[in-house]
Chain A
Amino acid sequence: MGSISAPPNIPAPMFQDILSARRRSNDFRWASRPYNPSTYFVRGRAKEPKELVASVLQCARVQAVVREIAVKEGRDSRDVAKQAEQILAEMAHDYHLYTVRWFGYVLSKLAKNHFSSIFVNVQKLQQIKDCFQRYPVILLPTHRSYVDFLLLSYVCFTFDLPLPIIAAGMDFMGMMGIAELLRKAGAFFIRRRFGADSLYWALISEYVKRAVLSGCHPMEMFVEGTRSRSGKSLYPKIGLLTSIAELVRDREIPDVLILPISMSYDRTLEETLYARELLGQPKPKESTNGLIKGLRWLQSQSYGSMYVNFGEFISVRETLGECLASPYVDDAIFTKRIQKLGLNVVIEQQKNLVTPLFSVVATIVLAKMSEGERSIGFPKLMNQIHGFRALITPNGSDFGLPLTGETLEWNVRHILTIHSDLVVCPKNEEHIVHFQMGEDETVDGMKFQHYANQFVPLIVPNALLSVLTNSATISDNAQRSTSEESILKDYAFLRELLFDDFIYDRGNEMLEASKASSIFNVYLNKGRSNGHTSRWTTETEEMSKILRLSIEPFLIAYWGVAKTLAQLSIQEDQTESQIVEVKLLGKMSQSYIRQLLGSHFPNHYGALSLDTLNNASMAFIKLGVVTKIKLDSGNSFGMVVKDSQRFAQLIILIENYLPLRSRSKLNAVSSSSVQDFQDLSQLLQLKAKL
């Protein structure tokens, strides 16, 4: 296998560990050093937060909305203006260098205790400094932990970059003291749901605009809208991006530059919380007390390394393109461009993520677990890690190795100790890796899934191909065509179906699939030329199996939602009360699937993720087989099957790819094929083109 492995000196030399300097010199002196951030763009005179607030209150749009509301609600407009002022007071950021320094000091201490390194791509720093001078810059990091924004500000402080103003969720407002501390370090707070509150929307949108133009700090926001519990990228939210793009559309500024940032962790601080949440177990409310408790617990833990990588700058002007050519921009086109922008950012983030090494371990472990195994031999594990690495490096991805300069094997051993609550190599049998299972196996499964989800997106093409070829060979339908063409067609279908789970650059499915299979072939041939043909064959077969198993939880989840919905919609003309609310549908599907795991399906705990179950609902809506119906009760909506015949076909179609242990028992409907579903795939192709 040695011939396949890449040189062990990873992370690549462009990454620098900023903690190592912290370990050599005094933190206090460092945090209180003269801090002269590099020049940052400003339109006109730099405005203090207070002036920004004042300019928001004075701007024409806010004034108009205030008058409008006063008329509509029959209130005194001064009263509405007062309300606006209060909202802004709750929202606005503040800046105190001493707070930043305090954070710098505390974070240095904490980081050194619990993390081995913070790797930052320093090659990009000069370009970032240049761009900071040119146009306003929006920092769009991935969001997988609360640590994200602390980390990014810490990185900026370390490299004398201007610190960002951060769009933060309201969750923090519950934490006494913490919120104010964050506010003084540049955070501003946005309510989670403000729906059709036009005043709130005007205020936040204008606040963002004024701050971007004259705040003299880059702005940081999270396209994913919230922390990704699953460890995968979330479908982008375009609310604040729209305000940013409006700045360019309305030519308040010629351009705004967007910097996608990818941050990853060997071990996620919130892993247990996330697992519980995804399973639907009640989540503890954020509170200062909880945080302190959490911190105390953290004392005893080690979290490996963090990785910060920067993507390519994206020009908003270029993204909007010709829709700017006319002064009258079509709203629909505008929105479409911003959606595309959001997706591009997510794709760029994914591209530059340093993949945590444990994610590949978790993928392999989950495969074993699904088959009821409880351990794996270390050499085998290493072989498979090498194998997977050979699949991702040709695309420019790689694992982050916390021990720079050490071999992959050493790094794997190290990472296993970091995750000692999930896996152990007992002293006496170093060659066996045992999976630790707690009282609730699903929680542990979900934790593994959180890590696996950081690796699976990289191997989705291979995984899907593995599913497709496998189902083609085991299919009992003799007429079923296994031609390359039909496989590619099915491939595109599945890729689109799973879009919200695995966001990718639409339109290149064929290319992607053929590239993936050629990479796999290279991997096969390399091993073959090494001799040991028979051993090699079993190894590669095992690889294909893991690939297939890695995607199965998602297919099961989609199938489960479809089945549940189909069963619910048997009765004709449902009344509103019978229409199932989308979140509830997720929960119902979850318990349905839970019953089938282990009996009809392998133990794919990942299929229980509410996140994926929700994505499934969205996918059915996008495919047009299910419609969204707004429910009386507030913001949520329900789901109704639009075309039950096509919906049934869709279920059968997904079923074809499922690892059903007893197909016959589940349904008696004859198997279907994509050919029967051609109209749907045509529709998909159309979509892909758009």
Chain B
Amino acid sequence: MSLKQTLVSRDDSQQPEINEKTIAAAVTGEESPDTLVRKKRAIPKKRQDVLKWNGWGYKDSGFVYRDGDLLFSGDRYPLGNLILPYFTNWVRDRLGGNFALKVESIEEPDDTTFPEANVTSELISKIEEIGVTYSVQGGDRLFRSHGHTLHDIFTLRTGNFPRIPDLVVWPESHNHVVAVVNLAQTLGVVLIPYGGGTSVSGALSVPENERRTVVSLDMSQMNRILWVDEANLICCAEAGIIGQDLEGQLRTLGFTTGHEPDSYEFSSLGGWVATRASGMKKNTYGNIEDLLVHVKMVTPRGTVEKHCKVPRISAGPDIHHFVLGSEGSLGVITEVVLKIRPLPICKRYGSVVFPDFASGVSAMREVAKERCQPASIRLMDNEQFKFGHSLRAPVGFLGNLSSAAKQFYLTKFKGLDLNQICVATLLFEGQKHEVNVQEQRIYGIAAKFGGMPGGDSNGERGYILTFVIAYIRDIALDYNIVAESFETSVPWSHTFNLCENVKLRVINECRARGIRHHFITCRVTQTYDVGACVYFYFAFNYAGMSDPVRVFEEIETTARDEILANRGSISHHHGIGKLRAKWVPHTMSQTGVGALLHIKRAVDPDNIFGNGNILSSPETMVQPQQSQEDSFMHSKL
């Protein structure tokens, strides 16, 4: 790989990279620094070989209903191959699940059934000239036409997307990307970067009435760690690398980025930057914007990057901040330099039981005020506590007894109401003595608000289940239940009320629509000085309803309105995509929208990155005094 070919002129900052490359060679165990060989990756180029074409995650993993009970198949996850009678009952009771009525997904479409790809032979021959691999096969294109919103998955299971990409290309280096972007600019082709495909904002879907050729730029082959710089504790990786590969490789060197979004098995480094992702352990390691030291983004007008990799810089508005959260609408993120940390010596789980949600939130607030957050602290409401509790395998006679005894202890001796209690799960990381101190402080604060330690296994379960929970929606859809999550950030003063109000509003919107079985729950997943991140799960049984997704979206819209009325934000980490574009003007002011439009115009005047994210809503289009040119711009966005 030759850095000299990039469009940006180089200064002396390229000097250290020679050394870094040597380190990179060590990382990958490769002799020649110039031909870095790819390690075995978790996800192959043909994703549908390993991943579900119409659902979440690995093909071999997921919930299935068998012989009267639900169980989790495969052995990738801790819940693997366990029968879950409590969960089965929970689905029946709480969501009116009827396992006698299965709603089958349509068959995986045959490659011949897709609309003809709108590609010219000129495009293909130019692509071949550049030397990137490509595919026009329907299955490949379909896989990259969506993310993981309810709408996406429901559509996959029941029919077609109105528009899918025409072509998939797999660039393997920064230079490939530069060449593809230049080509797209020349031929007037639309490019949509595709990272891990875990988007939950509609960011990946192709604008329905896009008439130009649409090319999905699958980043998965740009998956190398290019170098590790131990002196400064940073590493440089290509943007297509997915979380589990990045962490797996760093771990062998004794490092971690500490960035663990719940989707990190599948989501990519570039995707994180493009969506301003947030990891579970941000308290110790920071969110992506804190971790990011340097980034390259290829735009139709050249590559955007800084000339140095420094801890901080005062050089006008930070250009990183229009790369972060750009959602593929400005260019392709190709290489990212991230902070790394030595692996923690000690890792411990914990949990606290609170008498009710209000006291739990107060305790979280106090922890934030004292700035003594452990790596992760999450507060689940009562519904989620009960739900999580149902996701357990039946144990032996004694095991049951002990949990009954525990319930008795909780409810009788401590006077707690099982329908009010809520649980905070904790993850501590660091030196052993640090962890001890942290534990003490947390349990001390918790006690002030009536919280008491609930044991480490409760905590651990909470975190392990995180990855399994993402599989639930598929089985839910099998039995007439639609589900989705949404999130927000909110100041402390409004955190408790926001949680309660949004749940109440959703419940009442369901009632008003005659929905009998509905489930809405929330947890406070992150704490900050100013406020918190709140994450909601919402599901309902749609038996007898003709258009459940539309109803779901309607209710989700009222929920977002409620969130905003409660001083919450449009999103803490999921991003805007197309789903939340209508609230953008309210979020950042018309002037702010105008400024963003001008950045867009500066780096991508022909709207090559035409995925329509962020600024696509009609509201952003309505600007009172706009020139002809402006409206021309808008029509392209």
| Residues of A participating in the B interface, judged by any CB pair closer than 8 Å | 43-45, 130, 133-135, 251-255, 324-325, 327
Contacts and interface: CB of A to CB of B under 8 A. Distances in A.
A327 B567 contact: yes
Given A134-B508, A324-B565, A254 B501 contact: yes
A185 to B, nearest CB: 28
B505 A44 contact: no
Interface of B: 356-358, 417, 420, 494, 497-498, 500-501, 504-505, 508, 511, 562, 565-567, 586
B505 A254 contact: yes
A327 B500 CA distance: 18
Contact of A252 (B358, B420, B497, B562): B497
Nearest to A249: B565
A135 B504 CA distance: 8
B511 A43 contact: no
A45 B501 contact: no
B494 A45 contact: no
Contacts of A254: 501, 504-505, 508, 562, 565
Contact of B494 (A135, A251, A255, A324): A251
Nearest to A41: B504
Nearest to B586: A325
A253 B501 contact: yes
10 contacts: A43-B500, A44-B357, A44-B420, A45-B356, A130-B511, A251-B497, A251-B501, A253-B497, A254-B508, A325-B565
A130 B513 CA distance: 13
A325 B562 CA distance: 10
A25 B388 CA distance: 51
Given A43-B500, A44-B356, A251-B497, A135 B508 contact: yes
B532 to A, nearest CB: 16
A258 to B, nearest CB: 16
B566 A251 contact: yes
A130 B566 CA distance: 25
A43 B504 CA distance: 9
A515 to B, nearest CB: 33
A501 to B, nearest CB: 38
Contacts of B505: 254-255
Nearest to A251: B566
A324 B565 CA distance: 7
Contact of B565 (A45, A134, A251): A251
Contacts of B494: 251
Given A253-B501, A254-B565, 8 more contacts: A44-B357, A45-B417, A251-B498, A254-B504, A254-B505, A255-B505, A325-B586, A327-B567
B565 to A, nearest CB: 6
A130 B508 CA distance: 10
A244 to B, nearest CB: 16
Contacts of A327: 567
Nearest to B419: A45
A135 B508 CA distance: 8
A590 B357 CA distance: 62
A505 to B, nearest CB: 26
6 A-B pairs with least C-beta separation: A254-B505, A251-B566, A254-B501, A134-B508, A327-B567, A251-B565
Nearest to B512: A134
B565 A44 contact: no
Interface centre among B357, B417, B494 (most CB of A within 10 A): B494
A240 to B, nearest CB: 21
Contacts of B562: 254
A327 B494 CA distance: 12
Nearest to A317: B565
A252 B566 CA distance: 8
Nearest to A326: B586
A133 B508 CA distance: 9
Contacts of A43: 500
Contacts of A253: 497, 501, 504
Contact of A45 (B420, B498, B566, B567): B420
A43 B505 CA distance: 13
A366 B242 CA distance: 89
Contacts of B356: 44-45
Nearest to B505: A254
Nearest to B359: A44
Contacts of B565: 251, 254, 324-325
A44 B359 CA distance: 11
B186 to A, nearest CB: 45
